[in-house]
Structure 1
Amino acid sequence: MPSKSPAQILLDKAEKKAGASTGWFSSSSTKFEEAGDLYQQAANAFKLEKLFREAGDAFAKEAECREKCKETNDAANAWWNAAKAYKRGYPDLAIQALSQTITHLTQAGRFRQAADREKEIAQIHLQEQQDLRRACESFRRAGEWYAQEDATATANACFKDAADLHAELEEYPTAISLYDQVANFSLGSALTKYSVKDYWLKALLCGLASLDYVSARRNLTRYGQMDATFPSTREAKFITVLLDALDQGDEEIFSTAVYEFDQVTKLDNWKTAILLKIKKGLQQAPGLT
């Protein structure tokens, strides 16, 4: 029979301790505290062996012991440690553990940390599961929690990520309102004012992709009223040319404008994808106004 690893020996001890009946002189609280400590040691030993599923499971059992002792801060930490272990190949379990962490953090009023964990959930949905819908929801929830804790810049980064995803899901009105929200915040700060023209460019591209050229023109004018420098930017001039091309149903003007813009400001994947959708709209409905 093969000998047990140090991690397995610790896990067995933890299981025995957690399942033991309490004697006359010890409380169940003490029992679960000691079992929690053993589960934590076992989890760290499994991590050393690179057995991340087992490490996550042991941290989760530690968390349950901490909950039985009403040690909510320690329970939140244990769930977070479980999530970090599960992240190494078990995204569903990582999300479950992070959700448990968030429950403890929000109950304790620690919304800033809850937002950090919710943002991690968003990134797992996005990167590991390609679930744009759920990633959107988590980015927005994280953004709201950051905002109420006055972490405005971090909140805006989450809202911007959510807007990008809403646009990919072709939910253009929602994306536009989020870009507008982030731009409005950014206008008020000298540090972030430079990024406003990019948010507005994205909002306007969403307007073109939704085939609502009238609203796009109206927004272009409105942004110029909010910031007098905007009409002279390359972004505003680019949108103006695209609008003219769409009104005339002229694919050549459209393609030339995109090419020239890309020569100076490299178009990222998001902008390239939405411009292809706008071009498809132009091919299907030339001269639409």
Structure 2
Amino acid sequence: MTDPNEKKALQKIEEGDRKLKKNTGFLSSILGGGGSGVSDAIECYISAANSYKAAKSWNSAGDTFVRVAELHEKHSDSKFDAGSHFHEAGVCFRKVDFIKATECYQKAADIYVDMGKFTMAAKAYVAMAEVCESALSGNIDGERNVANVLPKEQCKEMCLNAYLKAADYYKGEEQKSSASKCLVKVGLIAAELEQYQRAMHIFEEIAIYEAENSMLKYAARGHFFQALLCALCYDSLEAERALKRYKEIAPIFADSDECKLITKLMDAVRTSDPDGFAQAIEEHDKRARFDIWHTSILLKIKRSCGDGGEVRGEDGDAEEDDDLR
């Protein structure tokens, strides 16, 4: 049985089509009138899109919002309305179609950038990145069967780039806190893609900003630690130089548990001492478990000590290096 909201949506679509056809007729094109006809058609299409949303017909709702946005682009002076309706289309498509959702958020961002609405552009890029994250995590509820999802690595690259663009626009608007939140995501994803040097510099940038802010200085300890873990993944000498630099510029890090732990880990790497590495991790585990991201990085570093074994994550499960056990 057809949802009554879908029936209402179809009626509004037909009504909008009639108004639009009347507006673009021969006499209208000669006389140059009929602007109100487009406006009336747009109102009908918006009503139809909302009815589709009520019926959870997400593809139809998204397509209709795209139609509204394109009409605003072609016939209206309101770029803002075009951008907001592309964004609304993205909200609908993210439930059913990865490609359409990301394309709509990109169009919204482009319009906002052209208007100088950089904060809104940043929000559109964050929304795009969140679509990628949902696809990567499989965080899709029962009613959502998202189509056209990109391969995992390509999806991660898109996610990283979207968060990076969002961070850049937030920085330009002096919204440093929002920019830092996006940069944390960039650092995490860059490390997952084994772009360790890039991740190291991202976490360093975040940590230095936090260390200089009295309200955020305690958060700097964790991000300095992440920067050093990433450095250990590609150059232990670079990690040692960075540790010395961080201790000089941020006394709060020099006196922290994170600094003591990373120093022990560096010593273990330098002397190829897997037992010392494991002991340092075990001592830390008595206070707090590492999350999945830290566990993955630590496993990679531990392999450079010449041994495998396991590092326990915050869920208590062990991740094992089967090749080196």
Please indicate the TM-score interval, normalised by the length of the shorter structure: over 0.9
Counting only pairs closer than 5 Å after superposition, residues 96-135 of structure 1 correspond to structure 2 as 96-129=103-136, 130=152, 131-135=155-159
CA distance in 2, matches of 1:82, 1:120: 12
Partner of 1:79: 86
Partner of 1:140: 164
Check if 1:40 corresponds to 2:46.
Answer: yes
Partner of 1:95: 102
Counting only pairs closer than 5 Å after superposition, residues 10-21 of structure 1 correspond to structure 2 as 10-20=12-22, 21=24
Residue type of the alignment partner of 1:266: R
Query: Which ranges in structure 2 are unaligned for 5 or more consecutive residues?
Result: 137-151, 309-325
CA distance in 1, matches of 2:47, 2:205: 47
Counterpart of 1:180 (choices 188, 204, 207) is: 204
- The secondary structure found in structure 2 opposite 1:189 is coil
CA distance in 2, matches of 1:89, 1:102: 21
Partner of 2:259: 236
Kept after mapping to 1: 8 A contact 2:8/2:51: yes
Partner of 2:299: 276
CA distance in 2, matches of 1:33, 1:48: 23
Query: What whole-Å deviation, never above 9, does each CA across 1:258-285 have from its counterpart, x for those lacking one?
Result: 1211221221111001001111222279
Kept after mapping to 2: 8 A contact 1:35/1:65: no
Partner of 1:227: 250
Query: What whole-Å deviation, never above 9, does each CA across 1:203-253 have from its counterpart, x for those lacking one?
Result: 11111111x111111111111111223222111111111111112211111
Query: Which ranges in structure 1 are unaligned for 5 or more consecutive residues?
Result: none
- The secondary structure found in structure 1 opposite 2:194 is coil
CA distance in 2, matches of 1:132, 1:283: 30
Check if 1:203 corresponds to 2:230.
Answer: no
Q: Structure 1 residues 16-25 or 174-183, which shifts more? A: 16-25
Query: What whole-Å deviation, never above 9, does each CA across 1:1-59 have from its counterpart, x for those lacking one?
Result: x8981111111222233333334567253332221111101101111111111011111
CA distance in 1, matches of 2:255, 2:111: 50
CA distance in 2, matches of 1:133, 1:86: 20
Counterpart of 1:168 (choices 192, 196, 204) is: 192
Q: CA deviation at 1:64?
A: 1.1
Counting only pairs closer than 5 Å after superposition, residues 143-154 of structure 1 correspond to structure 2 as 143-154=167-178
Kept after mapping to 2: 8 A contact 1:46/1:54: yes
Q: CA deviation at 1:158?
A: 0.7
Counterpart of 1:54 (choices 46, 57, 60) is: 60
Kept after mapping to 2: 8 A contact 1:33/1:65: no
Kept after mapping to 1: 8 A contact 2:196/2:230: yes
Paired-residue identity, %: 26
Kept after mapping to 1: 8 A contact 2:274/2:307: no
Taking only aligned residues, the RMSD between alpha carbons, in angstroms, comes to 1.9
* Structure with the bigger percentage of helix: 1
Q: CA deviation at 1:125?
A: 1.8
CA distance in 2, matches of 1:41, 1:127: 29
Kept after mapping to 2: 8 A contact 1:183/1:196: yes
Kept after mapping to 1: 8 A contact 2:129/2:160: yes
Residue type of the alignment partner of 1:16: R
Q: Structure 1 residues 228-237 or 112-121, which shifts more? A: 228-237
Kept after mapping to 1: 8 A contact 2:220/2:253: no
What is the number of residues matched between the two proteins? 283
Counterpart of 2:215 (choices 181, 184, 191) is: 191
Residue type of the alignment partner of 1:12: E
CA distance in 1, matches of 2:77, 2:303: 58
